[in-house]
Amino acid sequence: MQHAFVTGAAGFIGSNLVDRLLADGVTVTGWDNLSTGQERFLTDALKNPRFRLVRGDNLDLPALTTAMPGADFVFHLAANADIKDGWSHPRKDLEQNTVATFNVLEAMRANGVKRIAFSSTGSTYGEATLVPTPEDAPFPVQTSLYAASKVAGETLLSAYAEGGQLDEAYIFRFVSILGERYTHGHVFDFYQQLVAHPDRLRILGDGKQRKSYLYVQDCVDALLHVTRARTARAAPHRTQVYNLGTAEFVQVNDSVGFICAALGLKPKLEYTGGNRGWIGDNPFIFLDTKKILATGWKPKLTIEQGLGRTLCWLEANRWVYEARPPAA
């Protein structure tokens, strides 16, 4: 990999990936419409002569195609990740996740780029009956528009690879990611609530939902480790699917406990009730990561350590709450 094209380059994971690629000597073209990404996350990258930021939208195929020449690898991270309020804007998942992925693949085809890594989600397994859930688990009925749109994106990648349009396709099914530049999710929302009113905390659902989380630098390590090993070259249909996560999970109540202890607070907990926080919320996500562990990658931080680093960053960067308020 000499020249990477990163969609969602100003986002949480994307900006951390950009910094790592540049540190490794890779030339990077960042692509972002800055609808949720923050140019401030790219402050250091913009000082690097091997980095170029292009402001553009994945729904603009001509502009996307024009921005991609010279790249030999695409990291497609840009997406709408608003699962909770998906039914308030159902077209957004279709356009920003599925159609956008088709456009990225078409821009690659026009530019002769044959290698791609795609950020999917552990939500594609729906309410899995097999836990921990391996990559070859049968796909269930989808329970969110977000997950359905990501499944469609995965199938587009595998079809393009089978059709000879890609030499290597990597699909990463993430658990929730935590760490520096985190701007979306329950820790983000909990911290904002506790700053506003330290005496109480509203929790969607019953707090017993079980989740797994992964620190962002461990996530970036996994993306780079596998793509540099080029494991998809010998994979069936030139497509490799990897779960990314830790070998542990916590209840939402546990993460609330970690957060409150770190902040020295004892708020009254107010629950909305039920075993789901919202329509499409999966009450138990825990992925089997044996496949990627066998490649030599393993996470360095525990969930509690990742939560701690996330809180430290949010404490030092409260500006993100004005730059990107959480969904209502």
Q: pLDDT of 224-265, one tens digit each?
A: 999 999 999 999 999 999 999 999 999 999 999 999 998 899
Q: What is the pLDDT of residues 32-50, one digit of tens each?
A: 999 989 999 999 999 999 9
Mean pLDDT rounded to a whole number for the chain? 93
Is the pLDDT at 327 greater than 50, yes or no?
no
**Residue ranges of domains in the chain:** 3-176+215-244, 178-212+247-286+300-323
Arithmetic mean of pLDDT, 193-216: 92
CA contacts within 13 A on the Cβ side of 84: 12
What does the pLDDT look like over 49-98, one tens digit per residue? 999 999 999 999 999 999 999 999 999 999 987 766 767 788 989 999 99
For 8-18, the pLDDT digits (tens) are 999 999 999 99
With a pLDDT cut of 70, the percent of the chain lying above it is 98
> What is the tens place of the pLDDT at every residue in 255-310?
999 999 988 999 999 999 888 877 777 888 899 999 999 999 999 999 999 999 99
Q: What pLDDT is recorded for position 86? A: 67
Question: What distance in Å separates the CA atoms of residue 199 and residue 197, rounded to the nearest whole number?
Answer: 5
Instruction: Give me the sign of the Cα torsion angle 125, 128, 133, 135.
Output: negative
Model pTM above 0.75 = yes
Q: What is the pLDDT of residue 293?
A: 98
**pLDDT of the residue at 326:** 46
CATH of domain 3-176+215-244: 3.40.50.720
Q: For domain 178-212+247-286+300-323, give the fold.
A: UDP-galactose 4-epimerase; domain 1 (3.90.25)
**Cβ neighbours for 290, distance < 8 A, ≥ 6 positions apart:** 134
pLDDT at 275: 83
The letter for the amino acid at 26 is V
